[in-house]
Amino acid sequence: MNANKFIAISVIAGVLPAFAMLEDDEALAAARDVLGKMTLEEKTMLLAGSGTMTLPAVPRVGIDAEWTMSDNSSTVRSSLDRWSWKYVEPMSENTKLPSLSALAQTWDVEWARKHGEVLGAECRDRGVDQLLGPGVNIMRTPLCGRNWEYLGEDPVLAAKMCVPMIRGVQSFDVAATVKHFCLNDQELSRGLVDTHADERTFNEIYLPAFRAAVKEAGVLCVMSSYNKVDGIYASENKYTQTGILRDRWGFKGLLVTDWGGQHSTAFAANNGGGIEMHRGDSIRHLYAPKANRFPLAEAVRRSEVPSATLDDMALRTLFVMAKTGFLTKAPRRAGSRNTAEHQQIARKEGAESIVLIKNAKGLLPLNPAELRKVLVIGLNADEKQCHKGCSAEGSVPYEVTLFAALTNRLPHAEVSLMPFCAKVEYAETDTSNAVEAGGHVVQKQGEKWCDEAELLAAARLADTVIVFTGTEMGFQENMESEGRDRVEFDLPAPLQKAMHTILGWGLERVVVVSRSGSPVGYTWTDKADTLLQTSYLGMEEGNSIVDVLFGDVNPCGKLAQTWPRRYADTAVACCGTYNATNVTYNERFYTGYRWHDRQNIAPLFPFGHGLSYTSWKYGNAKVSAAPGGWKISIDITNTGKTAGKEVVQLYAAYPDAKVERCVKELKAFAKVQLEPGQTKTVELALTPRDLAYWDSFLHRFRADAGEYELLIGSSSADIRARSRIAMHDDEIFAD
């Protein structure tokens, strides 16, 4: 069986009917039946929280329990107090999986499905009905503090990864929530900023993942974003919420504001609004639970909102409740939490996301039998991260840091940890945004540091030095978190200098491990012979990294983000706006590698890049007709001595383009596993819809007749095979 067929079968397995999940018509009938029994006030109660993470019970009509929500995309957050952001003690514990930025780097739809299934199972075990994830916003700027919670820079990659994840969550009768809809691509002033994108950019870059979530995955919930879109808050924007989401895509489920994202009563309801959420005592626009007031019901009585609008809003909530079995009291699929299986999934997923950037001297994988004295430089190698990140905070039964994992793996070696020879101070930071987002923030004043001579002496005594650099979670300067963007693209100057110093010592065995959820400005990579890049990997982070360092897992991650050499090389810096008030996406559809291709700017590391401990040979591409499009086949051979996995990437170019097109764009990918010397045929599907662009005159996607070049490679910058196809007629698509 070839790899592509295996993936297809796995994804299909992930969408088998859930235990209680009703068909749409059955769920709608059940919802209508309950709606017909409800008073005006009871309908209103379904449209606002009864607490920070709950919707009210309505026992009179058979809704005997509160509907419960929980953050986030990589864990199930501990239960929150009804009226505040405080946690309920004792805090509940859950498995924390790798971040979505790490999941994207697996380029593996099977891991996306497993990721979703773990979250669905742990929600069910906790009694959670709605998971507030996944996040699918596109990385427009590397400064966005929340990039680590999203699926990278490319709309095709984000769309193809979010679909199996959503199906995995919902296979456990839990409603997934795709977020944040829409154009929420910075945390800077996210609650006030007005964003603008032209129609083509909007449809080609920033909507595809949301569209796939709705039309392919059948996501049950959508969360609106904080920002304004063309002058109107996303939570009350009729064009996006009704025109696109419901009318164009046919979304049947419930729409929920981000917490504190509601700004009006009648205006929001009349413009496609949904459920209002905030910390419990701040909910007030639609239904104020603490005061037992019903502003939306009052607006209906004053004829400011049609009663049919209220009915439609309430019906959508009941529909989702019915779909999951909550409303009908059907026996829902049983869950589980903190199991050995879930912990192993966290570990393996994390390992498969790690990207081998450089291995110039073949130092990796390390042989543990050869190691007697290992020095780890960088105290973040033993700084736990799972409890950080605002709404993405996790409470875990344990967390394995890199230093702890190395110590466990090398019981007969001396493993020591030292700080950088760099003094880094952290200024006091306004954390009000973090608190408003439900974050629990600890300010750092500075980091421990050591004398250069002391560090050099220790490094010379070690047979291997592992340098751990990058970012950490938090709410200061260059840390990554919800509610704040990074202040600078570059690694702080003292740490840059320290990296140059350490790599300039001429030591023979130095491995650099860089951890971040976004590209970071590094000036020293030409001096690093060995470099691994990892994102935030959750509770098993250290074990995942060690598994790759020692070759238990052959690295097979690929970058989901282009790493620029300088911030000045990014599209946003060159021609876009990035500010706290009014942001126009002037770079248009040239995001990430698209921009670098257009401007002929060499990145530090290209999109899709990732090396292996083995080597790959690509054969010639073969194209054949297939139902609805084409099948592209290519033989991949493992020419090395180690079993491994390769991500085969298909890009399209447009030699006959009649309109402005990108130099190339990702269209499909597949991950193939091969033993040494083994060859497999990878098959990739392509349709005319995949080749289409948004026609702003017709307000439709269209693919023009003409030739298209197909580029197959190991990254966006490493194309191994080419072929061509022809379309004989123009095609226009309804959506």
**Which residues participate in catalysis according to the annotation?**
258
Q: Tally Cβ neighbours within 10 Å of residue 493.
A: 12
Environment class of 236 (CB within 10 Å of its CB; exposed 0-12, middle 13-18, buried 19+): buried
Assigned token pair, 356: 């081998």
Q: Is 278 helix (H, G, I), strand (E, B) or coil?
A: coil
Which stretches within 181-294 are classed as H helix? 199-201, 208-215, 238, 266-270
623 beta partners: 632
Do 355 and 107 contact (CB within 8 A), yes or no?
no
Q: Report the Cα 61 to chain-centroid distance in Å.
A: 38
Which stretches within 202-306 are classed as H helix? 208-215, 238, 266-270, 295-301
Q: Is 276 helix (H, G, I), strand (E, B) or coil?
A: strand
Q: Tally Cβ neighbours within 10 Å of residue 369.
A: 9
- The backbone region for 155, taken as left when phi is positive above 0, alpha when psi lies in -120 to 50, beta otherwise, is alpha
Vertex 185: Cα angle to 182 and 190 (nearest 5): 85
Give the Cα separation of 197 and 239 in Å (integer): 13
CA gyration radius, the chain: 25
Do 583 and 641 contact (CB within 8 A), yes or no?
no
Do 289 and 276 contact (CB within 8 A), yes or no?
no
- Across the chain, how many H-helices and E-strands are there? 20, 27
